[in-house]
Amino acid sequence: MVRDYEKVVDAQNVRINKRALTTSWSPPPAGVYKINTDTAFEGESVGMGAIMRDNVGDVMVSLGYGMRGSATVEVDEALATRLGVKIALEASLSKLILETHNLRVYYALMKGKCENNSFGSIIRDILVLANQCHFVSFTHVKKSGNKAAHIMAKLSFSLGKMRVWIEEAPNNVMQVIHSDI
């Protein structure tokens, strides 16, 4: 019953906030880096992608990671977000806007809500990593504004392992990035 109640409340929040949702990628302020993350699914595998860009839309870091097995969409989306933040910090990017199209991940990060399950544990990890940043903000974008991260997630199935690109991304991802700007 509690789960059903939360779904109704979340659905009402979606209706209330629908006008405020961003529909396309927009650059962050100068000195801040935006991380877009996403997942894709293929059979029993999940692909994770992340794109980190600066205020003019240039790629600072991109990554793809494919793995066998999948939990739930929300858990996998949270894992992709955690991976994006971890790699951003390793690349010394510490002023971040974390942008996702998954409303459950977005609301959990905004509220600092850490459920007592695997999803909540991953959200807690993201918040701990976020505390290492000089600045962090959470935003939501509709799927149409998260295309580059989704293409990267789909590409990750063919990578075989985690791949990280510095100041570049694969060609088909770069095409989407250039159309965003």
Domains of the chain with CATH codes: 32-180 (3.30.420.10)
| Tokens, residue 115 | 């459920």
- For the chain, which ranges sit under pLDDT 70? 1-22
pLDDT at 22: 65
Q: What is the pLDDT of residue 72?
A: 87
> What is the structure's pLDDT at 3?
55
Which residue in the block uniquely carries the two structure tokens 């695997």? 118
Sheet of 163-166, strands arranged across: 135-140, 95-100, 33-42, 45-53, 59-68, 163-166
pTM for the full predicted model: 0.85
